[in-house]
Amino acid sequence: MARKGTVLAALALMSAVSVVTAAPAGAAITSTSSAKAVCPTGWGSLVKTGTASTTASLTNVRTGSHDCYDRLVVDAPGAGSGLGYSVRYVDRIFQDGTGRHIPVGGGAVIEVRVSAPAYDPETGKPTYAGRVAQPLPGVDLTDHLTFKDTRFVGSFEGDTQLGLGVRARLPFRVLALNDRIVVDVAHTWTGAR
């Protein structure tokens, strides 16, 4: 009887392994179990900066919601690894050049500043459809747990400012990847969902 149980356990394990190894590279593997995601901790809420310069222009801003955090991605094709940024919590956001206050909803506000204009520096033609003080075009926050509001603050002298309204002052991280900046804001301080 013990041998039959061992054989059945081995077959079940082999079956599970074959399912996992059959998934294509990079594919998301989902589970129907009620196990909770293990969320990263230790990001903090202090200012994060990266110094670099580019001649590329910002073309798109998008968001996504993950098990542990909400994500904002700023795309600047052609920037390579030369995309500078400053991401920080602020009491209020003021537009560069004019000093105009741009209201952003939420329990806390993050200013995202990217060293890429939202226009073509040669022609002045817009490369991103953002309108000052308006929500970011194409961004839907319906399924987001942390993000509550987004605003286009403006683009001035090669920098673009965005306002990100979040539920509360929560830890975040910034990833500078080729042609984009990624801002992840955790759902909680403890990593628990």
- What pLDDT does residue 53 have? 78
Confidence grade of residue 124 (pLDDT, cut at 50, 70, 90): very high
- Is it the case that residue 43 has pLDDT exceeding 90? yes
189 neighbors 171 (Cβ within 8 angstroms): yes
Amino acid at 27: A
pTM of the predicted protein model: 0.80
Instruction: Report percent pLDDT > 70 for the chain.
Output: 80
* 136 and 68 Cβ atoms separated by less than 8 Å: no
For residue 54, the model assigns a pLDDT of: 83
Per-residue tokens: 115: 């060293």
For residue 5, give the 3-state DSSP assignment. helix
pLDDT per residue over 154-192, tens digit each? 999 999 999 999 999 999 999 999 999 999 999 998 876
Q: Which two tokens stand for residue 21?
A: 């190894």
**DSSP tag of 124:** -
Taking every pair of Cα atoms in the chain, the longest distance, rounded to a whole number of angstroms, is: 80
Per-residue pLDDT at 33 exceeds 60: no
- State how far the Cα of 58 lies from the Cα of 78, in Å rounded to an integer: 10
Per residue in 51-61, pLDDT (tens digit) is 887 889 999 99
Structure tokens at 154: 């403006």
Q: What is the pLDDT, as a whole number, of residue 10? A: 43
For each of the domains in the chain, give its residue range(s) and CATH number, in order of start.
48-186 (2.60.40.3500)
Contact 154, 161 (CB under 8 A): yes
pLDDT averaged over the chain?
A: 84
Q: Helix, strand, coil % (nearest 5) of the chain?
A: 10, 35, 55
| Band of residue 150 on the pLDDT scale cut at 50, 70, 90 | very high
Handedness of CA 96, 99, 103, 104 (dihedral sign): positive
pLDDT for position 132: 97
